[in-house]
Amino acid sequence: MNLWRIPTARTGALAVWRRNILVWRKLIVPAVLMNFGEPTLYLLGLGFGLGHFVGEMSGMSYLAFLASGIIASSAMTTSSFEGMYSVFTRMVPQKTYEAILATPLEVDDILAGEMLWCATKSVFSGIAILAVAAMLGVVQGWGALWVIPVVFMIGLCFAGPAMIMSALAYNYDFFNYYTVLIITPMFILCGVFYPIDTLPLAMQGFVQFLPLTHAVMLTRSLVVGADLSQPLLHIGVLMLYAVIGYYVAVVLVRRKLRV
Amino acid sequence: MSMAAQPVLTSNKPVISSRGLTKRFASRVAVNDVDFDIYPGRCFGFVGPNGAGKTTTLRMAMGLTPLSGGTLSVFGLPASENGPAIRARVGIVPQADNLDPDFTVEENLRVYASFFGLSRRQAAPRIESLLKFASLTDRRRDRTDTLSGGMQRRLTIARALINDPELVVLDEPTTGLDPQARHVIWERLTELKVRGKTLLLTTHYMEEAERLCDELLIMDEGRILDQGSPRQLIERHVEPEVIEVRSGGGEALERLAGTTDCRLECMGTCLYCYTREPAQLIAALKDAHGLTFLHRPTNLEDVFLRLTGRELRD
């Protein structure tokens, strides 16, 4: 019952993951519309509209540059919003966790299942964007499918911090802090819309600590087929955020739910 | 605690056993040095006003919140380190319904079964019989938010039985239900008892406690006030009969209070006269003007109010 003990997720986590899939299936039409609609707008609107003036960026068409970055940022937002709004809904107003904790499952299992689900949802959005990008002819080839496991990892990476926010939140408005102070700056600064080497030097150093920077590096090289110098570093940063985020979230949710 | 439970008919090992059980929160003691034993096949009730420590005790027994002191074992296992193993053998009905609003009646049961590691195939026959038990077979495809309060409660109880538990823990099972729905729940709980399940319930409805429970533990402010069967408690704490006298004004009651040797308790414009020999007072009341009265045997509510007082608890 020690709050800080190392989490041990068991197979019960998969039952939580399946529960969420089942709910998602009931709402599949709006969900898929969201998956395809938003990135398509970005790619068509910015990729063609802005791309017309930009021409090439980092040696590729602006559409290709943007598509390969949006895959990462969309994985981030999908996972983050699931980890905040949906997890909070299940944890607090809907009391789903209270119901699940009346079974042999523990907080460790629940959050592991939620995290897998956040990452799964990121994959759905990633596949949609990849499909749109492929139709627009900016995907390197079948090798781009390797981006799917990477998108899963990006989902895991952002699920942890989002669940930490859910554990700390007292209402939905609390999530505005995280969105405005963390998510939006990463969206703007981490190389989705322009290469980070155009940033001032100090800023370039700073964005190296942000996970989205590493996520974009990975997705861009896989989608477009560009060279990548340190893949293990990027993967390592994502996994580090995932592991630390999960641990801290488990401790905080244990504390929140045990009284 | 001096008044430990005496098992009546059984020599089995207790399902739950506590000694010196204590739970402290930052600013208050929720459970204070509590001893009890719950024996298999019986219905055990925790009764007490709001804030008595009933729910906290249940949460400790299910391994959901740590103890601050004492010992607490369930199925012979220390509760705080064995939450998952204990909960695998227990059905828990929470105070507020927490059914999954995204799912139908049937899906609620199926998804819940999966949390116990039951496969779809293992769960299917149990779901059929539980739908029947809850009288919800014809509502199986409806979303839970379309069900009445009584139906939701029945579904919550059915859901708690999906793992075929040895012990069923119910936290205020009928709070907020209308009389019809409450009677149906009581009937279902009695059925579970007949099937040999051990029941542990908390309630602040004395009628419920009296009907269902073989043994009661009356708690207030984290302490045990007394423990025993409903009949034992009534015999121990109150006279067998009571006459409730009501009046519009105070004087008639005061005059009456001066003439009787009953034990009196006053509550607003109502006087409770507890006695073994009611005949004399009844004769006097028949001649009195401006007074109405009700003569009845004493019940658990009288015991409860005597032990915990009549002032409001918020």
Nearest chain B CA: its distance from A253 CA (Å): 12
Question: Do residue A104 and residue B85 have CB atoms under 8 angstroms apart?
Answer: yes
CA dihedral angle for residue A230, residue A236, residue A238, residue A242, rounded to 10 degrees: 180
Per-residue pLDDT of chain B (314 residues; tens, 9 = 90+): 344 444 445 557 999 999 999 999 988 999 999 999 999 999 999 998 888 999 999 999 999 999 999 999 999 999 999 999 999 999 999 988 899 999 999 999 999 999 999 999 999 999 999 999 999 999 999 999 999 999 999 999 999 999 999 999 999 999 889 999 999 999 999 999 999 999 999 998 899 999 999 999 999 999 999 999 999 999 999 999 999 988 876 677 777 777 778 888 888 788 899 999 888 888 888 887 778 899 999 999 999 988 988 777 76
**Local structure of B200: helix, strand or coil:** strand
Q: Which of A11, A100, A258 sits opposite B65 (nearest CB)?
A: A258
How would you classify residue A95: left for phi > 0, otherwise alpha for psi between -120 and 50, otherwise beta? left
Phi then psi for B215, rounded to 5 degrees?
-145, 140
- CATH 3.30.70.790 correct for B239-297: yes
CB-count exposure of residue B86 (10 Å: 0-12, 13-18, 19+): buried
DSSP calls for B134-170: TT-GGGTTSBGGGS-HHHHHHHHHHHHTTT--SEEEE
Question: Percent of chain A scored above 90 by pLDDT?
Answer: 83
Q: Which of B80, B102, B114 sits opposite A18 (nearest CB)?
A: B114
Report the C-alpha gap between B109 and B126 in whole angstroms.
Answer: 9
Report the C-alpha gap between A160 and A165 in whole angstroms.
Answer: 9
Question: Which amino acid does the sequence have at A63?
Answer: L
What tokens were used for B18? 């506590």
Nearest chain B CA: its distance from A82 CA (Å): 16
ipTM value: 0.93
pTM listed for this prediction = 0.92
Question: Do residue A22 and residue B103 have CB atoms under 8 angstroms apart?
Answer: yes
Three-class HEC string of chain A? CCCCCCCCCCCHHHHHHHHHHHHHHHCHHHHHHHHHHHHHHHHHHHHHHHHHHHCEECCEEHHHHHHHHHHHHHHHHHHHHHHHHHHHHHHCCCCHHHHHCCCCCCHHHHHHHHHHHHHHHHHHHHHHHHHHHHHCCCCCCHHHHHHHHHHHHHHHHHHHHHHHHHHHCCCHHHHHHHHHHHHHHHHHHCCCCCCHHHCCHHHHHHHCCCHHHHHHHHHHHHHHCCCCCCHHHHHHHHHHHHHHHHHHHHHHHHHHHCC
Residue pair A223/A67 in contact (Cβ under 8 Å)? The answer is yes
Of B42, B47, B77, the residue nearest B63 (C-alpha): B77
Chain segment A87-99, per-residue pLDDT in tens: 999 999 999 999 9
Nearby residues of A125 by Cβ (< 8 Å), 6 or more positions away: A35, A39, A74, A75, A78, A151
Domain chopping of chain B, boundaries? 16-235, 239-297
A257 contacts on B by Cβ (under 8 Å): 64
**Are B16-235 and B239-297 equal in CATH topology?**
no
CB-count exposure of residue B9 (10 Å: 0-12, 13-18, 19+): exposed
Question: Do residue B115 and residue A11 have CB atoms under 8 angstroms apart?
Answer: no
CA A80 centroid distance within chain: 6
- Mutation pick from A17, A94, A103, A259 vs chain B, by most beta carbons of B within 10 Å, is A103
Fold of B16-235: Rossmann fold (3.40.50)
Of B208, B233, B215, B170, the residue nearest B41 (C-alpha): B215
Nearby residues of B15 by Cβ (< 8 Å), 6 or more positions away: B38, B39, B40, B74, B75, B166, B167, B198
Q: Which of B64, B96, B99 sits opposite A258 (nearest CB)?
A: B64
Question: Do residue B87 and residue A104 have CB atoms under 8 angstroms apart?
Answer: yes
Q: What is the DSSP letter of B80?
A: G
Q: How confident is the model at residue A1 (pLDDT cuts 50, 70, 90)?
A: low
Report the C-alpha gap between A186 and A202 in whole angstroms.
Answer: 16
